[in-house]
Copies of this chain bind each other. A is one copy, B any other.
Amino acid sequence: MSLNTRAEVLFKTLVQLYIDGGQPVGSRTLARQAGLELSPATIRNVMADLEELGLVESPHTSAGRVPTQLGYRLFVDSLVKVSPLDQKALHMIEDKLTSKHDPQALLASASSLLSEFTHLAGVVTVPKPDHAALRQLEFVRMSKDRILVILVTNEGRVQNQIIGADREYSDSELVEAGNFFNATYGGMSLDDVRHELLTAMERDSRDMHRITQTALEMARQMFQQAEDDAEEELVVSGEANLLEVPEWSDVSKLRDLFSAFKRKRDLLHLLDRSVRTSGIQIFIGDESGYRPLHDCSVISAPYEVDGSVVGTLAVVGPTRMSYERVIPMVDVTARLLSSALRG
């Protein structure tokens, strides 16, 4: 699939023109815009070659050319020249991401920044807290039979849950239970704590101190429920931006897409794939392997906390998107989010 320089130049300008205008590009316009002194007829010959290579196609006989999926792939792999983000935008992102410290709020901000700047949908996966370490667990009495359990991880993530109590506990009992628990399990990863809890429960609980028992039982309930929640692991924002995409003025395509966002599962799976690679990853059209993303592109980048990748952020839009602008945006946001999370 090696193209001579001329074909490459022509192909590149074709893609750019199409991305800008959304209209199939004819030989005439291409001749004017490409900066080469060639007649439309010559261009047509080149186009025929490109079509044979599968890089472009025409919607119908008399309609100019449009990049194919393969064409976009070539474009983003070796032709697109990503310009660095302009200073103003950069500062804005930085400001937004450093003004908050709460990790959950940070992810939400990142997602909405992505959607805002790209005018597409922004997506951020929420890292599973299992590998985070337990900093502190706290029991707070809400009413006779309801106790609020607050779990704080060393990343500053706060998770809270109200659990039912089997009997009435005094404030001091709860404090004591908390102290015991933190002394025993503080600093362990949530995964390990969960595991330890299960085995601790299995050991004969008769010979445990009452407070111990209380603490373990309540913590178990907490972890149980947290698991059940299956937690919303994806922050999506700016879906509404996709209403503006002209090629989707047909509502039925939008419906599919929106329900895909709602289901989350497939999308999550796709983004999980890109957790393992480092750096920007781009899925064009069918490459994602999911039907509703048929004519979408997904540009994703992993973000990290303290040097290890914990999640992915991405932008979802039509295949005809401005890769040139979106790629650096995703890149920068991932970097800045990572450093904001490190704090």
- Chain A interfacial positions (CB closer than 8 Å to B): 100-102, 135-136, 138, 140, 142-143, 146, 148, 150, 152, 154, 156, 158, 160-164, 239-240, 243-244, 248-249, 251, 254-255, 258-259, 261-262, 343
Residues of the B chain whose Cβ atoms lie less than 8 Å from the Cβ of A163: 101
Q: What does DSSP make chain A's interface, helix, strand, loop or mixed? A: mixed
B148 contacts A343, C-beta separation under 8 Å: no
Q: If the complex has contacts A146-B343, A240-B262, are A152 and B140 also in contact, measured as CB distance less than 8 A?
A: yes
Oligomeric state, in number of copies?
A: 2
Q: Is the CB of B259 within 8 A of A251?
A: no
Nearest-neighbor residue (CB-CB) of A262 within chain B: B240
Question: A136 CB to closest chain B CB, in angstroms?
Answer: 6
B146 near A135 (CB under 8 angstroms)?
A: no
A243: chain B residues within 8 A (beta carbon): 251, 254-255, 258
Complex: A143 Cα to B262 Cα, angstroms = 36
A102-B152 in contact given A240-B258, A244-B255 (Cβ < 8 Å) = no
How far does the alpha carbon of A135 sit from the alpha carbon of B162 in the complex, in Å?
14
Which of chain B's residues have a CB closer than 8 A to the CB of A143?
343
CB of B249 within 8 A of CB of A162, answer: no
Query: How far, in whole Å, are A243 and B100 apart by their CA atoms in the complex?
Result: 34
What are 14 A-B contacts defined by CB distance under 8 Å? A101-B161, A101-B162, A101-B163, A101-B164, A135-B142, A138-B138, A142-B154, A142-B156, A158-B158, A239-B240, A240-B255, A240-B258, A240-B261, A243-B255
Most buried by B among A162, A163, A244, A248: A162
Would A150 and B150 be within 8 Å (CB), given that A102-B162, A254-B243, A255-B240 are in contact? yes
Please judge, given known A-B contacts A140-B135, A243-B255, whether A158 and B152 are in contact too, CB under 8 Å.
Answer: no
* Bound complex: CA A254 to CA B250 (Å): 12
Q: Do B146 and A156 have beta carbons less than 8 Å apart? A: yes
- Given A239-B240, A243-B258, 4 further pairs, Cβ under 8 A: A143-B343, A148-B156, A150-B150, A251-B254
Closest to A258 in B: B240
How near does chain B come to A134, taking the closest CB pair, in angstroms? Answer: 12
* A13 nearest CB across to chain B (Å): 30
Residues of B within 8 A of A262 (CB): 240
Q: Are A160 and B258 in contact (CB under 8 A)?
A: no
Do B146 and A101 touch across chains, with their CB atoms under 8 A apart? yes
Task: State the Cβ distance, A161 to closest chain B Cβ, in Å.
Answer: 6
CA distance A160 to B162 in the complex (A): 16
How far apart are A333's CB and chain B's nearest CB, in angstroms?
20
